[in-house]
Amino acid sequence: MKFVVRAQHLVSLGGYIVERNFPYRNIIIVNKTVEPIKVEVPVFEEDWIEEHRTLGLKIIPVTNEDNFLTLFKKAKSELEKINDKKSYLE
């Protein structure tokens, strides 16, 4: 199954991780590009991360020790700065 990450948006894939032995409880995907990018879901193995980084996505794995909300807000802030800078230049 494919999931589309819209251009210059971010999403959380927590509900699409189905492997019990997967080392992350969630994955944050940031699409900084101006094009939508399709990702494969559900996520079964760690190789998925590198495969999708090669598509130009920023992949942020979230472990049990990480604070999801902090990581998500940080990624959103970085994305907003990029969008603000682009709109300023136009």
pTM, entire model: 0.87
Residue 30 and residue 10 in contact, taking contact as beta carbons nearer than 8 Å: yes
CA distance readout (Å), 51 to 11, 15, 37, 59: 17, 19, 13, 10
| pLDDT of 18 strictly over 80 | no
Domain ranges of the chain: 2-89
CA 48 from chain centre, in angstroms, equals 12
Q: Tell me what the mean pLDDT of segment 57-72 comes to.
A: 96
Of the candidates 63, 11, 60, the one whose C-alpha atom is nearest the C-alpha of residue 39 is 11
At 47 the three-state DSSP class reads helix
Query: In this structure, what token pair is assigned to residue 24?
Result: 């992350």
Question: Residue 86: what pLDDT?
Answer: 62
How much is the CA Rg of the chain, to the nearest whole Å? 13
